[in-house]
Amino acid sequence: MKNTDLIIAKAKETIVLQSNSIANLTNFLDNSFADAVNFILNSKGRVIITGIGKSANIANKIVATLNSTGTPAVFMHAADAIHGDLGNIQEDDVVICISKSGNTPEIKVLVPLIRNSKNKIIAITGNPDSFLGKNADFLLNSYVEKEADPNNLAPTNSTTAQLVLGDALAVCLLDLRGFTNNDFAKYHPGGALGKRLYLRVSDLIKNNELPKVLPSDKLTKVIVEISEKRLGVTAVVDNNDKITGIITDGDIRRMLSKTTDIENLTASDIMSKNPKTIHIDAMAIDALDTLESNSITQILVSDDNDTYVGVVHLHDLIKEGIF
């Protein structure tokens, strides 16, 4: 138990140290940050992000964030850059160099080469007086007082600060670009997040059966329809396919628990009137919200003419990874 307490205390201390380091970054934000954002926004090229060691790992993550939010970005390892990968940098590209000290050998070699190509350099460094800091066109100060580890050696607070500045850049850019939910979905079509933003009810029902009965149909036909269509439900419609009610397999079970005299029962005798429905063009996430808020597992779908066109089942949403 004592060891557990020590572990939790150290974890809390680490989190507090990191959060304080991040909060302190607000004191370093100045016109240089705004100028860097505006320069990227108006640039015709891409954002090339480079670093070495742990800063390279941070660079990779910032590249991913920028790409997914509408700013084309490419990662270039600082060591590889001076051994051939410098060709990644095109005429209109902006280069972000990330380095805690700003004085690593690779950075000292790389920065003059970038400047010779007349590409603008944005520095993310904790040392504004470093070689990188003094030779950058825009300076983003990622200074932290100390690292989270007791020896003040392992990159922890410093890399978190770099990451947060990169996220701040990305968020400012997406805001200025007017980046919308639809844009996000375009860049994330395969994930659950993207599906929440673009998947519609029409996409969910296209492979489903269309169970339906008339109000006058006998209960035996209702049971067969629910069983054969395998959605646990059937719509009750009139001769023009307008929805008049719904019958679920639960309705059947509850009815059978009360009586076995079913010979003369019809769909209209046990159906629920005025069932919940959703439009075929509605978003799939709206269908999920309706199911959850009404504690139901199926919902009937209608079109512009209020004609019955399908069923959305909770399993459809689970299969798509939305639920």
**For position 165, which CATH number holds?**
3.40.50.10490
Going by the DSSP 8-state scheme, the letter that residue 296 receives in this structure is: -
Nearest 10 degrees: CA dihedral of 281, 282, 284, 290? Answer: -140
Q: Which of 179, 214, 234 is the last residue of a domain?
A: 179
User: Is residue 136 located within the same domain as residue 215?
Assistant: no
- Whole-number pLDDT of residue 189: 60
Tokens found for residue 242: 């307008």
* Range 290-294 contact pairs with CB under 8 angstroms and sequence separation of 24 or more: 291/317
Q: Which of 145, 179, 213 is the last residue of a domain?
A: 179
Structure token digits, residue 8: 């939790």
Residue 60 lies in a domain: yes
pLDDT at site 85 = 85
Domain shared by 158 and 268, yes or no: no
Burial class (CB within 10 angstroms; exposed 0-12, middle 13-18, buried 19+) of 5: exposed
Domain match, 159 and 46 both: yes
Are 207 and 242 found together in one domain?
yes
147 and 14 in a common domain: yes
Residues 171 and 91 in one domain: yes
* Successive 10-residue mean pLDDT values, the chain, 323 residues: 84 94 95 97 95 95 92 93 87 96 94 93 97 97 93 92 97 89 66 71 93 94 93 95 94 84 86 94 92 94 95 91 78
The domain in which residue 70 lies consists of 2-179
Report strand pairing: 308-313 vs 272-273: unpaired
Same domain, 13 and 132: yes
Instruction: Say if 166 falls within a structural domain.
Output: yes
Query: Does one domain contain both 121 and 252?
Result: no
User: In this structure, are 13 and 102 located in the same domain?
Assistant: yes
Structural contact between residues 114 and 149, judged by C-beta atoms closer than 8 angstroms: no
Examine residue 300 and state whether it is found in any structural domain, yes or no: yes
Total residue count of the chain as it appears in this document: 323
Q: Are residues 100 and 241 in the same domain?
A: no
Distance between CA atoms of residues 322 and 132, nearest Å = 45
Rounded to whole angstroms, what are the CA distances from 55 to 23, 132, 162, 164? Answer: 20, 14, 8, 13
Cα distances (Å, whole numbers) of residue 95 to 40, 42, 204: 10, 14, 44
State the CATH number of the domain containing residue 245.
3.10.580.10
Q: Count the domains in the chain.
A: 2
Please tell me the predicted confidence (pLDDT) of residue 227. 93
Q: Is residue 152 part of a domain?
A: yes
**Is there a single domain that holds both residue 288 and residue 155?**
no
The phi, psi pair for 211, rounded to 5°, reads: -70, 130
Same domain for 76 and 205 = no
Is the Cβ–Cβ distance between 78 and 60 less than 8 Å?
no
Give domain status of residue 185, yes or no: no
